[in-house]
Structure 1
């Protein structure tokens, strides 16, 4: 069942094209973050406590850290961008239900790492009811937990936080007179991830902006993807456009030319581009922790060969059929079922599979060329949270859910059961699709995918 929609403050409009985006007009308001926290506490009950930790800083090597990215659940509830923080939600607490433990201002630390937010701004700007220095959490939090029946948390995700949590339980048992220790640890994701599955108006605006930035990046990459260049040069163009628009890459891009496109999660991005081959690009932008995910496949030399075009048209038809199934009341797997039907019929028509499409689906022989699913949830994570099945059945799509639709065909270069002219062709077409009240909205529709439109763009390079 869809949670009740939070009351949102008005969000200004912004241009999402080459001129960039106005991050201020797209920002999710403190009121919306507070509404999410209230919804979660109502779902958990007054006798529970919810604990969510910020993502730790992770080291790349030696003393060099990876660029920091906040934990998605923590960001969803707070918008707070720093590490070394813990959110405690305490329904019914007289002095405030939303309590943040975070780094306090420290001139020495700030000289090296920049200004910290601190406890005062956590309350004033991030809407927390109360805030304490993270250094004091061991002394303060156990007393706040005392008397609660259940602790909702992500136990098992971060061993260091798990150890601290168990330490707080031990400390609570040692309180004078014996503290009342919660008797249950409950997986927080069961409640929180169902909230995240439904996107608010503000979230959808961010996702449209993220999608538009990704489209700009793909269009720019298409212009430089010519014979003789390397896959990493195309990747560099993608990343350059994303960063110039205030976004980062939502995941390591796949830039796969020729037979590399038959590797589902190709990451090397080092091969040379050659005329006569296809280039598959799978890349998305992340804007303020919201992701997009686009795949396109186009001919490096500017025109599809006969075999490439034939397979491309099959994949495109499958994708259009799948998108048409993204509508309220349809099961999540309906786009996959539709795509598989079109792919199987196309493979049989072209002679890559023998017999009928019904047989290819029944015996799953189509999986030789399409071993994947047709999509996944999309949101703060590229493969976003949310159950795909409920009560043993495929989940029913509802308005404000967002998913990808990405059928493909991948003919292994060493598959001698097909004629040589088909071997080594890999094609994927992927768009981001939001479920609306009466159908769907393709967030990435500005990125061309018809073969004629792609060839026209390449001819104009």
Structure 2
């Protein structure tokens, strides 16, 4: 569980960095707003990840302002208490409780933001704000223009608008001990959901029914929602990387690829397993599956502080290349195919990605041609795959229409790595044994 103190420490770190800038600076971090689903119905609210990282506050229409030279350097602007609105739309923390509950220095109603920002911006050299939030950047620049156009003597508008996202995203890449505990719980919930789905799947059932089993397991264990669109792709559907229609009936003899993860207290899990709908791999399925499994194991062997994701990807790609040649899907010399990256036709995505508050979490993979090196506390997915489309006419028919991906969530540790999701059956023997017991 993340505490109020941890969020305060993050804000203090940002305040110090602002204070250390060569010129005076303030940071403006907007939260998310409700998004209309249809007419007067909204999508379920999901807080902006950077705002959540700094506050832990999960209400819409809020803004955090950090002003190191102010008497109240940590300022929160949020929706005020309103009994009429809360009867219709739910309880609000409100301005009066925000200071004690969130540990900010002062709180104001969101409607008063501009009145407070104008004097705060006066004389400040640099505004730090996420440049991807174009509407907010334009709004702050408009406020600054009003200072510039004012006839009052001595007022001075900000001179620079610098993107704050790289700072926050660098920090978010390395998780704290408390964050890792939350992520282990997200992983534990997701492990249980995948194991349940494996036993539920059967010929004649539908992909959406399997997805419902996953979502039910998430919810009853306290995970507010899936961390992303759940993928349940049977047969040829597994060859569509982001297949989310989940409307097809499961067929005897097909494989089912499930890519699903729970979101717990804002943090994502992300697991993929591929298994036979009828509980028994065919020989063709087993052979291809074990190539992917060996590729994941080869990638795992590279995971340690000081290594990097590209090294793990190359290890997996080489193993996939060797396997495809052994099965006759590729022909020729292994090293030549590795040099030509022939695997990309069938292993068409990267090996993995950072994981955290976003399922494809923030953080650079390289800077100035230098790979980002693993450090303890970084969390990533490892997910090799092989996908052979049904229309691959130059591939032997028995392999066509098979898509396989195996994905686990790992923490880089001082000693190497920790696989948070290893408890989901993964070998052929483990999967078949699990699916055949009740």
Scaled to the shorter chain, the TM-score interval is over 0.9
Q: How does 1:152-231 map to 2 (within 5 A)?
A: 152-159=128-135, 161-173=136-148, 174=150, 176-231=152-207
1:434 and 1:107 map into 2 onto residues whose CA distance is 45
2:332 to 355, 359, 376: 355
CA distance in 2, matches of 1:177, 1:92: 21
**Equivalent position SS for 1:281:** strand
1:414 — aligned with what?
A: 391
**Match for 1:424 among 401, 407, 423?**
401
Query: Aligned equivalents of 1:349 and 1:72: distance in 2?
Result: 45
Of residues 18, 23, 33, the one that matches 2:7 is 33
1:93-132 mapped onto 2 (5 Å cutoff): 93=70, 95-132=71-108
1:323 and 1:433 in contact (8 A); partners too: no
Cα pair 1:213 1:285 within 8 Å, conserved: yes
Q: Give 1:70's aligned residue.
A: 47
How many angstroms apart in 2 are the aligned matches of 1:72 and 1:175? 39
Shift of 1:350: 0.8
* Partner Cα distance (1:177, 1:100) in 2: 29
Q: Could you tell me how far 1:40 is from its partner in structure 2?
A: 1.6
Question: For each residue in 1:209-230, what CA deviation from the matched residue of structure 2 results, as whole angstroms up to 9, or x when unmatched?
Answer: 0000001111111121100000
Task: Measure the CA separation in 2 of the matches of 1:168 and 1:326.
Answer: 48
CA distance in 2, matches of 1:163, 1:367: 42
Query: What's the TM-score, normalizing by structure 2?
Result: 0.97
Deviation at 1:66, TM superposition (A): 0.2
Aligned-partner Cα distance in 1 for 2:412–2:84? 49
User: Which secondary structure does the structure 2 equivalent of 1:333 belong to?
Assistant: helix
**Which whole-Å CA distance do the structure 2 matches of 1:141 and 1:80 have between them?**
21
Give how far 1:390 is off: 2.0
- The aligned residue for residue 239 of structure 2 is 262
Pairing partner for 1:445 from 382, 405, 422: 422
1:303 aligns with 2:277: no
* CA–CA distance in structure 2, aligned partners of residues 123 and 157 of structure 1: 26
- Contact preservation (8 Å) 1:43, 1:191: no
Any conservation in 1 of the 2:269–2:355 contact (CA below 8 Å)?
yes
* Equivalence map 1:396-411=2 (5 Å): 396-411=373-388
Please state how far the C-alpha of 1:391 moved relative to its aligned partner: 2.4
Distance 1:172 1:433 in 2: 50
Matched, 1:139 2:111: no
Secondary structure of 2:37's partner?
Answer: strand
Structure 1: gaps spanning 5 or more residues: 1-25
User: Pairwise CA RMSD of aligned residues?
Assistant: 1.2
Alignment of 1:244-255 (within 5 A): 244-247=220-223, 248-255=225-232
Structure 1 distance, partners of 2:239, 2:257, is 9
1:241 corresponds to which of 217, 242, 247:
217
Cα distance, 1:178 vs. partner?
Answer: 4.5
Report how many aligned residue pairs link the two structures.
Answer: 433
Match of 1:324 in 2: 301
**Which whole-Å CA distance do the structure 1 matches of 2:362 and 2:14 have between them?**
16
The gaps in structure 2 that reach 5 residues or longer are none
1:387-422 alpha-carbon deviations (Å, 9 max, x no partner)? 010221221111100000000000111111111011
Once residues 212 and 197 of structure 1 are traced to their aligned partners in structure 2, the CA distance between those partners, rounded to angstroms, is 21
* Cα deviation digits, residues 318-377 of structure 1 (max 9, x gap): 001111211101022111011001000100111100112211121122111111100000
Distance 1:111 1:203 in 2: 34
Cα offset, 1:237, TM superposition: 0.5
Alignment check: 8 A CA contact 2:129 2:137 kept: no
Q: CA deviation at 1:158?
A: 4.5
| Contact persistence 1:152–1:185 (CA under 8 A) | yes
Q: Distance in 2 between matches of 1:443 and 1:358?
A: 33
Q: Distance in 2 between matches of 1:385 and 1:156?
A: 13
8 A Cα contact 1:249 1:283, kept in partner: yes
Q: Distance in 1 between matches of 2:256 and 2:78?
A: 46
Structure 1 residues 175 and 350, CA gap change in structure 2 (3 angstroms): farther
Identify the residue that residue 279 of structure 1 maps to in structure 2: 256
Cα deviation, 1:64-109, whole Å, max 9, x if unaligned, reads 100000000000000111111110011132x221100111111111
Matching of residues 384-403 of structure 1 within 5 Å:
384-403=361-380
